[in-house]
Each structure stands twice: as C-alpha cells, then as structure tokens.
Amino acid sequence: MFYGWYIVAASALIMGYNSLLFIYGFSTFINPIISTFGWSYAQVSLAISVRSLTTGAMNPFLGALVDRWPARRLLIIGSIILGLGLLSLGWVTNLALFYGGFIIMGLGGSLATQLVPQTSVARWFRKNLGKANGIMGFSVALGGVAIPLLVMTIDTYGWQSTYIFAAIGIWVLIIPLSFIFRNRPEEYGLLPDGKQPSEVKDSSSSDDDSPGIGVKEALKTRTFWLIGIGSMVQTAGTVSVLTHMMPHFTNTGMERSYASLIVMLVALVGLSARIPLGWLMDVTSRRNVIALCIGLSGTSFLLLSFIRADAPFLLIVAYAIAFGFGSGGVWLRSALIREYFGTKSFGAILGLMGIFTIIGTSTMPALTGWVFDTTGDYGPMFLSLGIANITGALLTFAIPRFSEPYD
C-alpha cells in the first residue's frame, strides 16, 4: 500500500479527536461552564474567537515554517502546546485565565491539527487528494458521533476534569502518531499518489507533480481571493452553529440528552457524506463541489433558525442532511487550493487562506452569543449566516475554470 495512506490514517485520527473536543464538542461545554461561573453566552463563546485570532495571527508564519521544517518535529511541538492549553482549563478560576488557555490551544492546534496534517497529505497526493481529504473529513464527522459520550463524561466528572483527561489524550495520541509522518514522497523515490518516476517518464500523459506557484503569484490571482471569501463565510457559519447548536436546542426547552442525539445525527449524516464527496472531488470539478457544499451549508442554517423543541422530525432530518453534506466542503477545500496553486508553497498559502477563516470564526461565534444574550433568540443570526453562505456559494462558482487557474 502506498505510504501516503498511512499518513492519511494518522491525520484522520488526529483531526477526529480535535473534532470531538473543539468542532462538535465545544458546544457541550458551554452550559456547564456558564453554570460554574455565571458568565454570559457571549463571554464563553468569545473563547472560540480568541483561539481563532491566535491561529489567524500565527498561521502565515507557521505555514511558512511547515514548508521548511520536518512534519514530525512540528507535530510534537504543536501537540505539547495544545495539551498544555487544555490542561490549563482544568484549573481556571476567572475569565482571563479561561481565554489564556484558548490562546495556548490556538497556537498548538494550528500546527498539530491543521497545517501539518493537511500539508503533509497534499504533498503525498494529487489525483486522489479528494479521496484522502474525504477520509479525514469522515474522521472529523466521527468525532461528532461521540458527542453523547462526551456529554456523559462532562455530566459525570465535570467539565474541568474532562479537559484534563483530554490533555492527556492529546499527548498519548499525537506524539506516537507523529512518527508516521514523512515530508515528501520524492525523498523516497516516489511521486504523489504512489507513482514511480519511471511510470511518469514512460507515460505520454503529464501526471507528474508540478511544483506550483509561490505566495506572491497566488496573491495576485482572482482565484485566491474567491476561495478565501467562500471559506470565510462557510467556516464562520459552521463554527457559529457548532458552538451554539446545543444551547439553541436546550434554550427552546429541548432535553439536553435529546439535543445531543440531534448533534450525533448531524455528525452521522456528515460521516456518510465525507467519502462520497471526496470521491466526487476527484472525478468532477472541485470548484463546483465546494460551491455546492457552501450552498447546502447556507440552506442548513436557514432551516436551523426554525427548529424548536416541538419541531417536526422531518425538519430536523432536512437540517441534518443539508448541514452534514454542506460542512463536508470545509474539510475538502485544501484539495482545491492544491489543484490551483500546487505544493511549492502550499503550507504558506494555506496559512494565508487561514486569515479569511479567522475573520469569520473570530467574530461570528461571539456575535451569535451576543445576539442571543440581547434578544433571547438565535434565529435572526442563523438566518443571516444562511444568506451569507448562499452568496458565498455564488462567488465560488465564479472561480475561473481550472484550465485558467491563474486568471
């Protein structure tokens, strides 16, 4: 088996654990944290914004570092920092220390759970990159399926003890997995997707991997900015909804256990969608697949604004299907970046793309919490996020065709 698939498997485990704690799981911590300290929803959800701002500030520098330093070394460093941030949350006593823990996690998580896994996989795959990202996205959704277990742990041992357990889990998982990572297939006499250099030389096709373009050239393209805007609106909406989904359900009178099952349903749909979406990315236009996903995300946010404790089950299912398929695009976007810009400066370009993501994720979760604190209703914010994502889908369709990638 091509060694790149081992890197995919290791990356999937890392991203799945990260999903359980931060992507799907943070929503389950919000009400217990508020019960402990009496903070507002805006104050607690601002922690996600603080983490995102830290990641956004560091991503361009860390992305350039990923292009130069060994992946294994960066994973170990990132996991140690991320674990320390989680560990600190087990002993916080005030809001400043709470935000401090998320700053530490933003720094470590950027390396350990984002830049290194995605860059490594992009170097080892080209034609099969959609499938590889689909597998990683499958693991991200799998993290959401474990939400009822996380809720049970929090309710049994408390949210601070759960964060301490999570810190130990980070070190036990990521440090051993870091030894699976290798930098580039060329260092082992291979090309992306497992092709031998002799195969490419003897073939009349041009399947050999192009090194791509540099950061300055990428910044001059319309494609870079359109991908960035689409990423910004989708991740802003996705993170806001994942942060406030459980509070939204429970504040409409829904039982906490039933709400966690809806989150699990959303994750199960996403679980079934990720690999087919990855396959679709490899056989058709990656631009169109991403645009479709953003549009489905927008549709799901519109549907969510109407869900209450007595909502029809069909409405919940429609929301889960739209969100599950739509959110898959978040984890497949690196394949689109690699297609248009190559691997020459992939880490740096991915880091710069992260600035768009951070603009959305650093503002929208806290703003969504503030809207609820002010109005007592999440609905208006979810409607706004839905409209923004449908607009983002149209802009993504405007990305030039791949035959004109640097137009």
DSSP letters, 187-250, are: GGT--GGG--HHHHHH-SS--SPP----HHHHHTSHHHHHHHHHHHHHHHHHHHHHHHHHHHHH
Whole-number pLDDT of residue 403: 53
Whole-number pLDDT of residue 197: 62
Instruction: Could you list the beta-strand ranges (E) of 65-179.
Output: none
The proportion of the chain whose per-residue pLDDT surpasses 70, expressed as a percent, equals 94
Burial of 68 (0-12, 13-18, 19+ CB in 10 A): exposed
**What residues contact residue 13 under an 8 Å CB cut-off, 6+ apart?**
139, 173, 177
Chain-wide mean pLDDT for the chain?
Answer: 83
* Long-range contacts of residues 316-319, Cβ cutoff 8 Å, at least 24 apart: 316/262, 316/265, 317/265, 319/266
Residue that the structure tokens 């995102």 belong to: 52
Phi-psi region of 312 (alpha: psi -120 to 50; beta: other; left: phi over 0): beta
Whole-number pLDDT of residue 407: 37
Residues in the chain where the model's pLDDT stays below 50: 202-209, 404-407
CA distance 44 to 368: 11
Residue 406, domain member (yes or no) = no
Residue 16, domain member (yes or no) = yes
Residue 405, domain member (yes or no) = no
CATH number at residue 380: 1.20.1250.20
CA distance 119 to 115: 6
In degrees, rounded to 5, the angle at the alpha carbon of residue 232 between the alpha carbons of residues 111 and 359 is 70
Whole-number pLDDT of residue 402: 60
Whole-number pLDDT of residue 64: 78
- pLDDT tens-digit readout, 8-25: 999 999 988 888 888 778
Residue 404, domain member (yes or no) = no
Transcribe 255-315 into DSSP letters: -HHHHHHHHHHHHHHHHHHHHHHHHHHHHS-HHHHHHHHHHHHHHHHHHHTT--TT--HHH
Question: For residue 372, which of 197, 252, 235 has the smallest C-alpha distance?
Answer: 252
Question: For residue 41, which of 334, 283, 367, 278 has the smallest C-alpha distance?
Answer: 367
Burial of 315 (0-12, 13-18, 19+ CB in 10 A): middle
Q: Would you state the structure tokens that stand for residue 365, as one six-digit string?
A: 């979760």
What type of residue is 243? T
CA distance 8 to 179: 13
Q: How many domains does the chain have?
A: 1
Residue 402, domain member (yes or no) = no
Start-to-end CA distance of the chain, whole Å, equals 38
Residue 407, domain member (yes or no) = no
- pLDDT tens-digit readout, 332-388: 777 788 888 877 777 778 778 878 887 877 788 878 888 888 888 888 899 999 999
The proportion of the chain whose per-residue pLDDT surpasses 90, expressed as a percent, equals 21
Whole-number pLDDT of residue 198: 60
Phi-psi region of 284 (alpha: psi -120 to 50; beta: other; left: phi over 0): beta
**320, 191 in Cβ contact below 8 A?**
no
Domain that holds residue 320: 4-397
Whole-number pLDDT of residue 107: 86
Residue 403, domain member (yes or no) = no
Question: For residue 353, which of 69, 15, 63 has the smallest C-alpha distance?
Answer: 63
